[in-house]
Structures are given as C-alpha cells and as structure tokens.
Copies of this chain bind each other. A is one copy, B any other.
Amino acid sequence: MSSLYSNQLTYAILGTGALGGYYGACLQRAGKEVHFLLHSDYDRVKEHGLVIESAGDDFALPQVHAYDSASTMPKCDVVVVALKTTQNHLLPQLLPPVVKDDGVVLVLQNGLGIEQEVAQIVGNYQVMGGLCFLCSNKVGAGHIRHLDYKEIKLGEYTPNYQPGGISERMQSIGADFEKAGIPIQLSADLLLARWQKLVWNIPYNGLSVILNATTSALMADINTLALIKELMNEVVTGAKTCDRLISDSFIDEMLNHTAKMKPYRTSMKIDYDEKRVLEVEAIFGNPLRMVQEKGIQLPRIATLYQQLKFLDAKNRIKNKD
C-alpha cells in the first residue's frame, strides 16, 4: 500500500448521495483525486458536477469524475462504500474492479457486520469501517444539502472484529478527511464503536418509524422514555456478548444529548416516509443474529425488528400502487 504513505491517495465514492456525495465533494475541494459512481443522477452530474449547500459554506464543483459503472472506474486507494446497506447485494460486482491490490474499502454505513461481508469479497486486510455522524439530504440530482454534524469515527476491520488498533493507513486517510474539513476520530476497536452507535440507532430509528414520532416526542413521554432505556440496556447486553463494555455514563450521555436536540426525524423515519427500503437488517437483524449465535436473546430489540419488517413490507406494497 505504498501510495498510502506517500499521501497521494485516490478515492472512489460508491454511491453519490447525501452521504457519499457530501464527503466526496469535500475531499475533491481539498485537492484530492475523487471518482464518483452514480446511478440515476449520472447524466446530470457528468454535465454539471455537484452542488453542496451547507450553512455558511456552500460550494459547487462544476466538474467531477463521474461514472455510471464500476467497471469503467480507475482502481483507487480508498473505496468509500456510501450506498444504503439495502444495496449491498451489489458489492460483489462493484468492489473488485475499483479497489487497488493494496487499497482499502472504507465502509461508511450503519449497522453491524457489514465489514465482515465486504472482507469476504476483498480480503480481511483491505477493509476499514467508518461511523458517520452526519445530517444531510439529497435535494436533487447532484444537489446535496448538509444540515448538521459531519464527524467520522474510523476503525480497522480485522478477522472476527478483534480490536485493530490505530494503523498508519487510518491516520493517512483521517488526515485527508481532516484537511477536507471533516473532524475525524480514530477508534482502536471498530466493533465497540459499532455497538456504541447502535445504542442510539436502535431505539430512536426503530421507535420513530413504529410510533410515527420525532426524537423529542419519544423523549417527552414517560413510557417511551422507559422503553428507550430498556432498549439501550439490551444493546449493552448485546455488546457484552461480544466482549465489549459500554458504560452507564455512555447511555446517560446519549439520553442527555438527545433530550437537548431539536425535534429530529431519524434517517430511518425519512427513509420510511420516502418509501425507501429500510436498513432493518444492518441495524437490527445483524446485531440480533450475532448475539443469538452465542445463545442470547434481546427480546425488545427482536420485537422492534419484527414490527419494522412488517411495516417495511407494507410500505413496499403501497409504493407499487
């Protein structure tokens, strides 16, 4: 991975939407070579590039390297997976043509267990995970509105999610993002970071869809607040099953932080309202299966999983009308 150390990394963005489009555009603006894979927005972006709206920091990239097929892209040092997890069945076709032999796939997706799937395609030592704390929407073809937050937490993937430490390539990639204005945290333990993020994602994403509610409505009701805490405790139990400890103070911090947020429509609720497929398997199904393999049940999370699967299926049917 010589090119990593020369700090002349090239980037491929698989999925140029609210997340991939935003981060890729920031990297290109900072001088990096970035190649964007697009689907429905390809024609528009090839001709007019990308437009980013962000309070006090709007910018446009009139020209970008746009592709409508991974097979026509150059091999890159860092391949950013920025698709929704519901598109991950495409990865066995998309990844091999675009990852350099000594490159790395950076999975910027929600949920658990995705790095393991990617490792089966590109090999154990070519995968890194990233947890995005980002609030952005795609408002049109090649037009992204960044609303709040943008930090990424990076972690190395190693076989069976053993803690991977802080690698040099993490630091190189992190430095590129930092130069692009994206705050970066480096995590020595990707699996711990993933479980920690589920402490928020499982209760709020799940209940916001099932109960048609914002985060603040869920926090204001004594019954859903109790349920949120119980769901968080089940996530902690799940993490413990994988030998990862999440402290009570971490939960308190999540609750306090969320209580102070403005009424927030979660990403899963936005997907549901837009009649997009929900990321139920990545966020709920994979953690449940990882824990069930060790003989542990998380009944409240399992209840949410089954409810969401039902609602998602109904949402598909209605979409066809």
Q: Knowing A221-B313, A313-B221 are in contact, say whether A211-B300 is a contact too (CB < 8 A).
A: no
Question: From A280, which residue of chain B is reached at the shortest CB distance?
Answer: B223
Query: By the criterion CB–CB under 8 Å, are B299 and A211 in contact?
Result: no
Q: Which 3 A-B pairs have the closest CB atoms?
A: A223-B309, A299-B299, A227-B306
User: For the complex, is A224 an interface residue (Cβ under 8 Å from B)?
Assistant: yes
Q: Which of B210, B302, B313 contacts A307 (CB 8 A)?
A: B210
Q: For chain A, residues 186 to 223, give those with C-beta under 8 angstroms from any C-beta of chain B.
A: 207, 210-211, 213, 217-218, 221, 223
Question: From A217, which residue of chain B is reached at the shortest CB distance?
Answer: B314
A residues in contact (CB < 8 Å) with B: 207, 210-211, 213, 217-218, 221, 223-224, 226-227, 230, 299-300, 302-307, 309-311, 313-314
A118, chain B: closest CB distance, angstroms: 27
**Cβ of A310: which chain B residues have Cβ within 8 Å of it?**
211, 213, 218, 221, 223-224
Taken together as a complex, chains A and B put the C-alpha atoms of A304 and B303 apart, in Å, by 9
**Cβ of A213: which chain B residues have Cβ within 8 Å of it?**
310, 314
A229, chain B: closest CB distance, angstroms: 11
A10, chain B: closest CB distance, angstroms: 43
**Cβ of A302: which chain B residues have Cβ within 8 Å of it?**
230, 300
Q: Knowing A210-B210, A221-B313, A311-B211 are in contact, say whether A303-B306 is a contact too (CB < 8 A).
A: no
A313, chain B: closest CB distance, angstroms: 6
Taken together as a complex, chains A and B put the C-alpha atoms of A306 and B227 apart, in Å, by 7
**Could you say which of A207, A230, A299 has the most chain B C-beta atoms within 10 Å of its C-beta?**
A299
Taken together as a complex, chains A and B put the C-alpha atoms of A223 and B306 apart, in Å, by 5
Taken together as a complex, chains A and B put the C-alpha atoms of A303 and B234 apart, in Å, by 12
